[in-house]
């Protein structure tokens, strides 16, 4: 969508994910407010302009097919000559003026099409795709290209199910039939969808060979997806609109990406924290040392104080997994395991014995006298 495009969502004050009902409500509110008949004398032009704008916006967003085109191509798709179905605003305006519309609901009938093809529109099914990532990818986030099969519009017939159509002779191609009712209050004209062509305005002459007239085909689809940093195994990410295509211009379903994190050779994860066990030599533990330990971001230095016991856990702050909601980062907890040497010289043996006795007696005295 380029900059010159009109933002129809903004004009109606709705979110891009707004439902048809939201759009209807927003339109109704604005249409009431900016109805040209309600404009103060000095604001006639402004109100009319605004009224025109919201009508244009709803004519597009209120129609699933046009809305999909707009989401894809922007408002340029609806400029004269763009080759898409346009919307004749003057039509609504003149009916407004002449009082043909009894109330706002009639306008909705007109703008939103009412019955016909719209009621047969069905949202496409959601799809589930499982993907495996490494712990590093879970910590840093990742871009993945995934490939899956989904229902799409048949290209051969452009999703119409047939290549040749003829104009419906019941409604002369309009898709609507006019009905005139005479009542004590005057003449009412009502338009409803044409039953012969189900509001399509045309009827198929043949059936598309590619899709057997379904208008839909199952096809392989490649998609780039972003996996945010901090994901956990089992999390489902929603990729809006990437599910199966809707039938009869219904909106597409969503794609759910289920993430599985592979086991790591040495890190264990618990929430945002990472756990790691590293070996420590007897001397390193006794005398203290600076050792290199792996972290999810690469190597880091961990200071081991002299006299460290086996199974001591050191906390490396902020070296864990970032929070999915960007509210911080977990820690890395390193457990040291002192490796007892299997072969000792006589001299080493004596030294250790001495050390052991000294430590044991100290501990004993300490316990006795505090």
Residue selected from 210, 247, 289, 331 as contacting Zn ion according to rule CB under 5 A: 210
Give yes or no for residue 77 binding Zn ion (CB under 5 A). Answer: no
Q: Work out the angle at residue 286's Cα, subtended by the Cα atoms of residues 282 and 291, and round it to the nearest 5 degrees.
A: 75
Give yes or no for residue 219 binding Zn ion (CB under 5 A). Answer: no
Give yes or no for residue 151 binding Zn ion (CB under 5 A). Answer: no
Closest separation between CB of residue 197 and Zn ion, Å?
A: 3
Residue selected from 54, 92, 127, 171 as contacting Zn ion according to rule CB under 5 A: 171
Segment contacting Zn ion by CB under 5 A, of 17-25, 29-37, 104-112, 171-179: 171-179
Segment contacting Zn ion by CB under 5 A, of 16-24, 43-51, 164-172, 226-234: 164-172
Residue selected from 31, 111, 133, 154 as contacting Zn ion according to rule CB under 5 A: 154
Q: Are 77 and 4 in contact (CB under 8 A)?
A: no
Q: In 87-210, at which residue ranges do the beta strands (DSSP E only) sit? A: 127-133, 142-153, 165-167, 176-183, 186-193, 202-204
Instruction: Give the residue with the Cβ less far from Zn ion, 177 or 237.
Output: 177
Residue selected from 43, 52, 110, 170 as contacting Zn ion according to rule CB under 5 A: 170
Residue selected from 77, 142, 168, 255 as contacting Zn ion according to rule CB under 5 A: 168
- Residues in contact with 308: Cβ distance below 8 Å, sequence separation at least 6, in sequence order: 280, 284, 285, 288, 336, 338
- Residues in contact with 154: Cβ distance below 8 Å, sequence separation at least 6, in sequence order: 161, 208, 210, 211, 214, 215, 216, 217
- The DSSP output letter for 37 is G
Give yes or no for residue 194 binding Zn ion (CB under 5 A). Answer: yes
- How many residues touch Zn ion (CB under 5 A)? 12
- Residues in contact with 16: Cβ distance below 8 Å, sequence separation at least 6, in sequence order: 9, 71
Residue selected from 142, 197, 231, 302 as contacting Zn ion according to rule CB under 5 A: 197
Q: Is 323 helix (H, G, I), strand (E, B) or coil?
A: coil
Closest separation between CB of residue 124 and Zn ion, Å?
A: 17
Residue selected from 14, 60, 211, 296 as contacting Zn ion according to rule CB under 5 A: 211
Residues 299-328 that bind Zn ion (CB under 5 A): none
Residue selected from 111, 133, 135, 208 as contacting Zn ion according to rule CB under 5 A: 208
Among the listed residues 235, 283, 255, 250, the one whose alpha carbon sits nearest the alpha carbon of residue 132: 235
Give yes or no for residue 216 binding Zn ion (CB under 5 A). Answer: no
Strand pairing of 268-270 and 273-281?
Answer: antiparallel
* Rounded distance between C-alpha atoms, residue 227 and residue 200, angstroms: 41
Among the listed residues 114, 123, 113, 4, the one whose alpha carbon sits nearest the alpha carbon of residue 60: 113
Instruction: Give the residue with the Cβ less far from Zn ion, 159 or 330.
Output: 159
* Rounded distance between C-alpha atoms, residue 113 and residue 64, angstroms: 10
Residues at the site binding Zn ion, with contacts judged by CB under 5 A: 154, 156-157, 168, 170-171, 194, 196-197, 208, 210-211
């Amino acid at each position: 969508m380029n900059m010159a495009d009109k933002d129809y969502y903004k004009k109606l004050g709705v979110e891009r994910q707004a439902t048809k009902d939201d759009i209807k409500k927003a339109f109704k509110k604005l249409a009431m407010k900016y109805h040209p008949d309600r404009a103060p004398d000095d604001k006639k032009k402004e109100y009319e302009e605004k009224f025109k704008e919201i009508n244009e916006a709803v004519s597009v967003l209120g129609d699933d097919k046009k809305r999909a085109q707009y989401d894809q191509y922007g408002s340029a798709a609806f400029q004269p000559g763009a080759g898409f179905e346009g919307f004749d605003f003057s039509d609504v305006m003149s009916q407004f003026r002449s009082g043909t519309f009894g109330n706002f609901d009639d306008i909705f009938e007109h703008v939103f099409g009412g019955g016909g093809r719209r009621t047969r529109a069905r949202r496409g099914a959601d799809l589930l795709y499982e993907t495996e990532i490494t712990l590093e990818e879970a910590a840093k986030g990742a871009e993945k290209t995934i490939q899956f099969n989904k229902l799409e519009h048949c290209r051969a017939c452009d999703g119409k199910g047939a290549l040749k159509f003829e104009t419906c002779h019941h409604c002369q191609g309009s898709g609507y039939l006019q009905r005139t009712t005479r009542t004590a209050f005057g003449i009412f004209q009502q338009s409803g969808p044409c039953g012969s062509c189900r509001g399509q305005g045309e009827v198929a002459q043949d059936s598309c060979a590619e899709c057997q007239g379904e208008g839909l085909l199952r096809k392989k689809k490649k998609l780039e997806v972003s996996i945010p940093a901090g994901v956990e195994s089992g999390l489902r990410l929603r990729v809006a609109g990437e599910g199966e295509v809707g039938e009869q211009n219904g909106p597409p379903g969503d794609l759910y990406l289920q993430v599985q994190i592979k086991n790591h050779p040495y890190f264990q994860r618990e929430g945002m924290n990472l756990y790691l066990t590293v070996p420590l030599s007897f001397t390193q533990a006794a005398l203290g040392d600076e050792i290199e330990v792996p972290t999810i971001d690469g190597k880091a230095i961990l200071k081991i104080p002299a006299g460290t016991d086996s199974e001591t856990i050191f906390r490396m702050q902020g070296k864990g997994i970032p929070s999915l909601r960007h509210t911080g980062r977990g820690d890395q907890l390193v457990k040291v395991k002192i490796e007892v040497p299997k072969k000792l010289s006589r001299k080493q043996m004596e030294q250790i014995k001495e050390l052991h006795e000294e430590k044991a007696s100290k501990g004993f005295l300490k316990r006795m006298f505090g």
